[in-house]
Structure 1
Amino acid sequence: MAEPDHLILRPIPNLSVGDMPSAFPFDYIEPAKNKEALHRWFPPEKGPINKIEPIGNSPVIIHKNLLRRLAPLWHNVTLEMKADEAADKAFGWVLEMYGYATSAALLGIQHTLHRMWMIQPPWDTEPGDSYLIHYTYGCDFDLNGKITPGVVGPWHFDKRDFNTAPPRNLSLPPQGAAPSVFRLVSMINDATWSIPDWRAGAP
């Protein structure tokens, strides 16, 4: 499973092990920190809270038979979490990720966790040996290539600025900025020039 804000850097091998699926460990999925909000779905009798892995539904490599078992529960748990005021407030934009991780734990499905799955610019500065770029964060730099966290910089890229097709030739970040951000913007520019009749602003 992948998402629209994933760019493939190199061929992805089968990172699963037998029937054990593979996932990426997210620093911002924190089951222990949200133990109270998760109590309704994962009470103490289900086991320690760390049985819920710090993962989401993407990127994931999973056997189809496991996904058939997991998908209905994931769907129902996610809708229940969204309807629960405390859970919705606690989980926000990563709610469906908590729904996936919680449902997997309830079914006893464990994942092999691989940091090499992907990078998340600008915080991961080098592509390294990763397979994907996940462009979830805004990227802001001053004209000397220094990151300006939390402040829109003179050079700025954020997917949230584009509700329609972006223009060709997005400006590259200034010299000194993270190589991962150069790679991200270069790949987007390569793609828009490679697609015939690309129309900026198209829905």
Structure 2
Amino acid sequence: MGGFTRILHSGKPDDLMDEIPTVVVDPLPKGIKDHGYVVLHRPYAFKQWLDTYAADIEEEYVLMTEPDHLYLRGMPLFATPNRAAAFPFFYIDPKKPEFTPIVQKYNEVKAPIDAFAPIGNSPVMISVESLSRVVPKWHDLAVAMKQDPVADKAFGWVIEMWAYSIASAQVGVTYELHPEMMLQPPWDDSFRVKGKEAYIIHYTYGQDFAKSGEATPGKIGEWHFDKRDFTGFPPKEKIPMPPRDAHEVIQKMMTIINEGITELPHWP
């Protein structure tokens, strides 16, 4: 792995520029409405990165990842020149009757339904050449689908992920699925997925646990952590650890987060 690059699509530097190598790109042009959906800017950000910065990296492959991915260990090269690698999401299911007609509406090349992988753009390991084929179509589809009331209602907050899957099928990029790429607590409570050690913890869901250590998803627990509680401002100090008997994944997740709070030199 060559290193990390953050793509910042605010159009201006922020106060994290010294923490991680960052390239600043523009948000969507003013004529394109995001309807409050900030993720719609992501495909356009990657398009700008490919056009302006991609030639500066030596690596033939990139791993697209997100700020709420915590790394347990380095990931090997799963991708090949002819096939990318990705984590499968259960809710990206083109074969579901309520989703298939929308997928087919945007299936301009008439790709078979099996060509639509149950993925988003992250985590994805892919060659730069393949990514350069996917991104323009990803951008166009994400914008078009967000303006489509039927698609927007059906796909909601993951419409950009659907756009990535559909775009890949349109340009012929295929994926090998790796469930072990990522854990998603509280649902994943072990570091192994189908017998394989995982690489990333994704803290996308709110975490609620009783004092007994039992997870209580959907119900605010006696111990609670949700990244959304810190939208716009970081925690000022270490976060209390989960109950002692809570599973190993949530224990590790909070240990890593607290290490960041403690060790980053410019933490607020």
Percent of aligned pairs sharing the same letter: 44
The structure with the largest strand share of the pair is 2
Distance 2:243 2:151 in 1: 41
Confirm whether residue 177 of structure 1 aligns to residue 246 of structure 2: yes
Distance 1:30 1:177 in 2: 31
Confirm whether residue 26 of structure 1 aligns to residue 26 of structure 2: no
After superposition, residues 157-176 of structure 1 pair within 5 angstroms as 157-163=225-231, 164-176=233-245
What's the secondary structure of 2:105's corresponding residue?
coil
**Structure 2 equivalent of residue 131 of structure 1:** 199
Distance 2:181 2:161 in 1: 16
Give the aligned residue type for 1:63: S
Q: How many residues align?
A: 198
What's the secondary structure of 2:156's corresponding residue?
helix
Distance 1:77 1:47 in 2: 15
Give the aligned residue type for 1:11: G
What's the secondary structure of 1:182's corresponding residue?
helix
For residues 153-199 of structure 1, the C-alpha deviation after alignment (integer angstroms, 9 at most, x for no partner) is: 11011111111112322011102212111111110001111012422
Q: Which moved more, 1:14-23 or 1:77-86?
A: 14-23
Give every structure 1 segment of 4 or more consecutive aligned residues whose post-TM-superposition deviation is greater than 6 Å.
none
Unaligned runs of 5+ in 1: none
Distance 1:49 1:127 in 2: 32
2:172 to 102, 108, 115: 108
Distance 1:55 1:110 in 2: 11
Q: CA RMSD in A?
A: 1.3
**1:48: how far off?**
3.0
Q: Is the 8 A contact 2:188 2:249 kept in 1?
A: yes
**1:120: how far off?**
0.5
**Structure 2 equivalent of residue 2 of structure 1:** 65
Q: 1:103 to 1:196 in 2, by over 3 A?
A: same
**Structure 1 equivalent of residue 80 of structure 2:** 17
Give the aligned residue type for 2:102: A
Q: Which moved more, 1:15-24 or 1:45-54?
A: 45-54
Distance 2:236 2:103 in 1: 42
Distance 2:78 2:236 in 1: 35
**1:116: how far off?**
1.0
After superposition, residues 54-69 of structure 1 pair within 5 angstroms as 54-69=118-133
Confirm whether residue 37 of structure 1 aligns to residue 141 of structure 2: no
In the superposition, the TM-score normalised over structure 2's length comes to 0.71
In the superposition, the TM-score normalised over structure 1's length comes to 0.93
